[in-house]
Amino acid sequence: MRTSIATVSLSGSLTEKLTAAARAGFDGVEIFENDLLACPLTPEEIRARCADLGLTVDLYQPLRDVEAVPADVFARNLRRARHKFELMRRLGADTVLVCSSVDPCAVDDDALAAEQLADLADLARDSGVRVAYEALAWGRHVSTYDHAWRIVEAAGHPALGTCLDSFHILSRGSDPKGIEDIPGEKIFFLQLADAPLLAMDVLQWSRHHRCFPGQGGFDVAGLVRHVLRTGYDGPLSLEVFNDVLRQAEAGPTAVDARRSLLVLQEAVGAAEPPPAVVPTGFAFAELVTPDAAPLAGLLDALGFARTARHRGKPVDLWQQGEARILVNTAAAARRDGTRLAAVGLESPDPAGAARRAEAMLAPVLPRRRAPGDAPLDAVAAPDGTELFFCSTRPGGWRSDFEDVPHAPAAPSVRRVDHVALTQPWHHFDEAVLFHRGVLGLRAEDSVDLADPYGLLRSRAVSNADGGVRIALTVGAAPTDDTAHAQHVALATDDVVAAARRFRDAGGRLLPIPANYYDDLAARYEFADGELETYRELGILYDRDAHGVLRHCYTRTVGRVFFELLQRDGGHRGYGARNAPVRLAAQHAAGTP
């Protein structure tokens, strides 16, 4: 199917928007009227620019409040339409969108609406234009798709059809099944947008909070399935009004948009990309640092041993149990201080995972390997983190490392439980959909975390058995994407023993205020001495319906800290309830 995007969904000048849409692989665009008015190019030049970029102009929407109005008003509307149809001829756009009227002088008269729309369609046909009539969710008299279709049907004009918009249909809770009663050739256009499930004024919801399909709470795929059953063969076109995307760079937004349609097309059976290969665990987490010593001290105290060194690069492997941390001191990677730069995802089919990622528009990273290195495919996540698809079996990435002598020790931790990554502010929704669409992870619920200096939002993505969990966090303001720390959470069967061992080895745990423990005492009953142990070590405590979570934190090195975490009874959370206390303690320690 052809894909299209409304220019209002992207930021910048019209030419910037067209370039971004074409680069992301869209076939066409809807041109938003203000973008054209503000553009120094003539309509003919815009048409030529689109043609050069391989884009068709699929829709233009310069008309409002056209129908069901008194005769003198309608005469003025036709005058305006005549101007606009001439413009569309110059622009090479053959479909005009007409939204149901919100004009206070519009009357509740379907016959009049049909008659005037037919008159408009007559005029349009003379200019080679088709009229697509759409019900706005807040239209004065026409606000549902079936009502708009009844008027189109009554008009019975070959140049008049309907336009369906998933937001207008699903925001009202209309049943999209009735779409199948509309002949496909009378559906002139299909606009797609998702939105978070907010209980708010529908106009404000529509104008400020739309998002790309798969990023909100609507069943957009279900709606598209109904549309496809009618035989509709026009484009899938994204029309997303979103305050955040208005500020974001057009290029990444266009890729995000195109990826959302790929996921949608797969879901409705309209495309067959390589199937998702869900990762089964963490092969490693890779930290880059200008100075290995502070990390080495921290890892040693946590119970890791330096077990191997890369054969060709300054990269050490630290390991205990199935937890593996790479410490990379290569010059090229050291510019930004100590940070979590890459994650190795254990994959049952690394090559297949890479094919999926590439098909889903993940930027494929050049392989930086020497002859003899194991093949290792990597893509960049939206936050720049490198994701490696790998296998820890013999012959895999591990064979690039040479064992170094180390003292054996009883491990404190078993494996990496999760990694937490701060996301770019303007592309948080993209990050969640990326991890779903590219990696096949599922998204958990979004939670707000109160930081002393702003509200953070966090959403985890995970596989079915919890072997891979990634907490995606976004700061309170656009400038915050590098201000907050990343962390690696290490799963242990005995957090008290692991914390003691860390402390006894000279590690410094994040101190937690005594007031927190007084509150725990008020909230729950504990065995004798239990709370005192938590208090002594700075262990935080939470319960959910499944079980108990106990966790504590190291101090921060650069942007990175570690968490020791014990899940009992299948506790599924990440300690969101404790996050305000932890964040305040980190600010107090000077390492937010």
Site residues for its own copies per CB under 8 A = 11-13, 33-34, 36-40, 42-43, 62, 79-80, 83-84, 87, 198-201, 204, 243, 246-247, 450-455, 476-479, 511, 513-516, 518-519, 521-523, 580-581, 583-585, 587-588
Distances (CA, A) of 340 to 333, 419, 509, 559: 11, 9, 20, 8
What is the nearest approach in angstroms of its own copies to the Cβ of residue 87?
7
532 in a labelled binding site: no
CB 562 within 8 A of CB 509: no
418 in a labelled binding site: yes
The helix (run of H) or strand (run of E) holding residue 238 is: strand 236-238
C-alpha 80: how far from its chain's center? 40
State the residue for tokens 């930081």: 451
What is the nearest approach in angstroms of its own copies to the Cβ of residue 452?
5
Strand order in 339-346's β-sheet?
377-380, 386-390, 339-346, 281-288, 323-328, 315-320, 305-310, 401-403
Strand partners, 455: 450
Q: Which amino acid is at 60?
A: Y
Distances (CA, A) of 163 to 106, 189, 194, 236, 360: 20, 5, 16, 11, 28
Rounded to whole angstroms, the Cα distance separating 409 from 319 reads: 11
Torsion from C-alpha of 200, 202, 204, 210, nearest 10 degrees: 100
Nearer to its own copies, 203 or 409 (CB): 203
What is the nearest approach in angstroms of its own copies to the Cβ of residue 407?
38
Give me the helix-helix angle, 14-23 and 250-267, nearest 10°: 40
Nearer to its own copies, 11 or 462 (CB): 11
Nearer to its own copies, 409 or 588 (CB): 588
What is the nearest approach in angstroms of its own copies to the Cβ of residue 109?
26
What is the nearest approach in angstroms of its own copies to the Cβ of residue 166?
21
CB 389 within 8 A of CB 343: no
What is the nearest approach in angstroms of its own copies to the Cβ of residue 542?
13
What is the nearest approach in angstroms of its own copies to the Cβ of residue 246?
5
Nearer to its own copies, 383 or 481 (CB): 481
Nearer to its own copies, 32 or 388 (CB): 32
Nearer to its own copies, 35 or 256 (CB): 35
What is the nearest approach in angstroms of its own copies to the Cβ of residue 558?
23
Rounded to whole angstroms, the Cα distance separating 361 from 364 reads: 8
Alpha helices in 24-70 (DSSP H): 33-37, 43-53
C-alpha 200: how far from its chain's center? 22
What is the nearest approach in angstroms of its own copies to the Cβ of residue 329?
33
What is the nearest approach in angstroms of its own copies to the Cβ of residue 479?
5
586 in a labelled binding site: no
316 in a labelled binding site: no
322 in a labelled binding site: no
Nearer to its own copies, 275 or 513 (CB): 513
The helix (run of H) or strand (run of E) holding residue 302 is: helix 292-302
Q: Is the dihedral of CA 370, 371, 372, 378 positive or negative?
A: positive
Strands (E) in 269-331, as ranges, are 281-288, 305-310, 315-320, 323-328
Nearer to its own copies, 196 or 273 (CB): 196
Rounded to whole angstroms, the Cα distance separating 236 from 192 reads: 7
Q: Give the number of other CB atoms < 10 A from CB of residue 237.
A: 26
Nearer to its own copies, 213 or 592 (CB): 592
Q: Mapping DSSP to helix (H, G, I), strand (E, B) and coil, where does residue 97 land?
A: strand
Nearer to its own copies, 519 or 532 (CB): 519
Nearer to its own copies, 204 or 399 (CB): 204
44 in a labelled binding site: no
What is the nearest approach in angstroms of its own copies to the Cβ of residue 278?
33
Rounded to whole angstroms, the Cα distance separating 36 from 108 reads: 33
239 in a labelled binding site: yes
Nearer to its own copies, 201 or 568 (CB): 201
Strand partners, 6: 30
Cβ-Cβ contacts under 8 Å for 389 (sequence gap 6 or more): 277, 279, 345, 347, 350, 351, 353, 354, 357, 376, 377, 378
* Exposure on the CB side of residue 149, measured as CA atoms within 13 A: 20
Q: Which two tokens stand for residue 359?
A: 């098909």
What is the nearest approach in angstroms of its own copies to the Cβ of residue 288?
27
Distances (CA, A) of 378 to 142, 257, 397: 51, 22, 12
Would you list which residues are annotated within the binding site for a divalent metal cation?
134, 165, 191, 239
Would you list which residues are annotated within the binding site?
134, 165, 191, 239, 418, 487, 563
Would you list which residues are annotated within the binding site for Mg(2+)?
418, 487, 563
